[in-house]
Amino acid sequence: MEKDVLIMGIETSCDETSVAIVKNGKEILSNIVSSQIESHKRFGGVVPEIASRHHVEQITIVLEEAMKEAGVSYKDLDAVAVTEGPGLVGALLIGVNAAKAVAFAHGIPLIGVHHIAGHIYANRLIKEMEFPLLSLVVSGGHTELVYMKEHGHFEVIGETRDDAAGEAYDKVARTLKMPYPGGPHIDRLAALGEATIDLPRAWLEEGSYDFSFSGLKSAVINTVHNAEQRGEKIKPEDLAASFQASVVEVLVTKTIKAIKEYPVKQVLLAGGVAANKGLRTALTAAFNEVNDIELIIPPLSLCGDNAAMIAAAGTVLFEKGHRAKLALNANPGLEITLYNDQ
């Protein structure tokens, strides 16, 4: 029998401080997530300086809790994997330095992980990956279609040219005077309304798998302002439903189109917006019509930022021989394709 691989994951790229212990890249022994949402709410978004301070306060507590809950000791760990980017530089640095301290103190390898690779690998905590596969990544900072021919190899076949899907959700929510993060609020509201308001869908040029959500976001803001000026009332639930219908239709249609050009065995949904009920339902319905391709949607607990997904991706990089130096730095603009040739 092969020896188990035990990896610690650390994630601090935005507003969650998280540490996890994962066995063989698939089994979560612990996954502690400390959210700062309450502290950022009154500012209507994440304040980088406040995020860093919270990470500093939380990281040791979360780390100790993750070790305790997993019931392992440091000598059992094979490596420590940490989000090196993209994200807020000050926030990333807290995780990167905590990981370096663990690696140095316990003499174990350090692995740098791309945040989006983590979101994709959240799916491996549910189901073994089969290649080639396509991942629809929808988060607060990213919206892209990522093709993978093997573990640890990422090819971006389409990405947003402006706002990410989650960002558009958050801005629309702010226009409707809802608290940060707005995505879940719009999602709940959309379920109560009808998509009766005509909003644009950005298909872009024929054959492109890129996305664009800023025109849709502006259309929603204009609809609200025009109605206010005319003294008309718009039902917020109908506006939310119409906005969501536009986002979901584009995401699902482009994904279905992509699997016709890129034959794959699986399609994985990934990122914070993967929690969206409208998207989950529409994607599931679309894949009912598709034979031979498995659709994997992570449970809600693994859609948002968490360290188990970083440990899962880190395990694959560890097994492929990736090692970061103790000089590892946070890299807010890190490209996912960096890992391909190593």
DSSP string, 227-250: HHHHT----HHHHHHHHHHHHHHH
Looking at 140, 158, 193, 298, which residue binds ligand KG4 (CB under 6 A)?
140
Please, are residues 82 and 95 in contact by the beta-carbon 8 Å criterion? yes
CB of 191 to ligand KG4, least distance (A): 10
Whole-angstrom distance, CA of residue 13 vs CA of residue 83: 7
Q: Which does 276 bind (CB under 5 to 8 A by kind): ligand KG4, Zn ion, none?
A: ligand KG4
Cα→Cα distances 2→40, 117, 189, Å: 45, 25, 49
Q: Which does 193 bind (CB under 5 to 8 A by kind): ligand KG4, Zn ion, none?
A: none
Looking at 11, 163, 170, 210, which residue binds ligand KG4 (CB under 6 A)?
170
Looking at 25, 85, 158, 183, which residue binds ligand KG4 (CB under 6 A)?
183
Question: 35 - beta bridge partners?
Answer: 16
Whole-angstrom distance, CA of residue 199 vs CA of residue 214: 12
Looking at 90, 95, 272, 298, which residue binds ligand KG4 (CB under 6 A)?
272
Per CB under 6 A, contacts with ligand KG4 among 98-137 are 115
Beta strands (DSSP E) in 132-200 are: 133-138, 143-148, 155-159
Looking at 304, 311, 324, 336, which residue binds ligand KG4 (CB under 6 A)?
304
Instruction: Decide the pairing of beta strands 155-159 and 143-148.
Output: antiparallel
Per CB under 6 A, contacts with ligand KG4 among 205-234 are none
**Interface with Zn ion, residue 305, by CB under 5 A:** yes
Of the pair 158, 184, the CB lying nearest ligand KG4 is at 184
111 phi, psi to nearest 5 deg: -125, 130
Enumerate binding residues for Zn ion (CB under 5 A). 139, 305
Enumerate binding residues for ligand KG4 (CB under 6 A). 14, 115, 139-141, 166, 169-170, 181-184, 187, 271-273, 275-276, 304-305
